Copies of this chain bind each other. A is one copy, B any other.
Amino acid sequence: MSLVVVGSVALDSVETPFGAAEDALGGTASYFTTAASLFTRVQVVGVVGDDFPPEYMAYLQSRDADLSGVATLPGTSFRWKARFDYNLSAAQTLDTQLGVFAGFRPELPPSYRDAEFVFLGNIDPDLQLTVLEQLRRPRFVLLDTMDFWIGGKREQLGKVVRRVDGVRINEGEIRQYTGTFNLRAAARKVMEEGPRVVIVTRGEYGALLFSQDDLFVAPAYLLEEVRDPTGAGDTFAGGLMGFLAREGKVDRLTLRRAMLYGAVLSSFTVEDFSLGRLRAVTLADVAQRYDELVRTTHFDEAALMPAGKE
């Protein structure tokens, strides 16, 4: 089914103890689209400057993405520069150049407006509201946000929260948003505002799925090597939403499986800089790690069989 992502398309310069990349393809929409396109066609809403490398645009085209919602405006593309230290858990932003992204006004082409699955990437809540107003009857809208908006635009963000079906938020952010330390209690508070699904991401520790009738603990895929965590969250969202859109339903079991696809896809992203690893991933690669992930959490006899579970 139709899937729309609204978010940044960026040029990232990232340095970690394991290497560096400069002006590499990044941004929410790039990671999301690469992951989700393994499952379904993605319609992208974003903006780039006229300096945006044509090969990056060609790459996104090659993922069979609908880029008619990506505007190219005179000016420079969004650039983000950051450094990670050894624990890789939080980026230290060195520089942010918004460029044309500063004037981003998400405009959905008519063919996007019937979208059933929508990911509102981490942008200004005011803009997220304008996207909601352009959608006819979405079935599942997942919201992403960050501490910056929770602190600075709490009221507008609240309006978005009340109108979406799901929220993806990290541990620190949900505590900040709800003023509640306990995650179970915090998730309930968010659900009381409207969303029926709350996904709390915990970096290398995996993610939690809360809903009215479910609690699911999704582990992270345990890697031997992590080079750059940039884009892990957006990739997780792409894997999750892509799978939901392909299945065309959002029931309890499908959501649980979607969480694992999110975890699996993001495990590829962090193995290399930018989309270095993720872009080469096949569905067979995904199925293999999915199967491994199942076997590291299940413990009944059946789950210990070597393969063929999923």
A182 in complex: contacting residue of B182, B224, B298, B300, CB < 8 Å = B224
A222 within 8 A of B: yes
Copies per complex of this chain: 2
Q: Are B296 and A215 in contact (CB under 8 A)?
A: yes
A86: B residues at CB distance < 8 A: 181
Residue-wise, chain A 220-248 has the 8 Å CB interface mask toward B (1 for contact) of 00111110000000000000000000000
* Chain A residues within 8 Å of B, Cβ to Cβ: 86-87, 181-185, 202, 205-206, 208, 215-217, 219, 222-226, 252-253, 256-257, 260, 296-301, 303-304
Asked if A215 and B224 make an inter-chain contact with CB atoms under 8 angstroms apart, the answer reads: no
Q: Once the chains are docked, how many angstroms separate the CA of A10 from the CA of B297?
A: 35
A253: min CB distance to chain B, Å: 6
Interface SS of A by simple majority: mixed
Pick from B296, B300, B301: contact of A216, CB under 8 Å: B296
**Shortest Cβ gap from A187 to chain B (Å):** 10
A179 to B: closest C-beta gap in Å: 12
Kindly list chain B residues whose C-beta atoms are within 8 Å of the C-beta of A303.
298
What separation, in Å, do the CA atoms of A216 and B294 have in the docked complex? 10
Expressed in whole angstroms, the Cα–Cα distance for A296 and B226 within the complex equals 27
B182 touches A226 (CB 8 A): yes
* Chain B residues positioned under 8 Å from A296 (CB to CB): 215-217
Q: How far is the CA of A185 from the CA of B206 in the complex (A)?
A: 19
Expressed in whole angstroms, the minimum distance between the Cβ of A94 and any Cβ of chain B is 23
CA of A215 to CA of B223 in the docked complex: distance in angstroms?
Answer: 12
- Chain B residues within an 8 Å CB radius of A208: 222
- 14 of the cross-chain contacts (CB-CB < 8 Å) are A87-B181, A182-B226, A183-B222, A185-B224, A205-B206, A208-B222, A215-B296, A216-B296, A216-B297, A217-B222, A217-B297, A219-B219, A253-B299, A298-B303
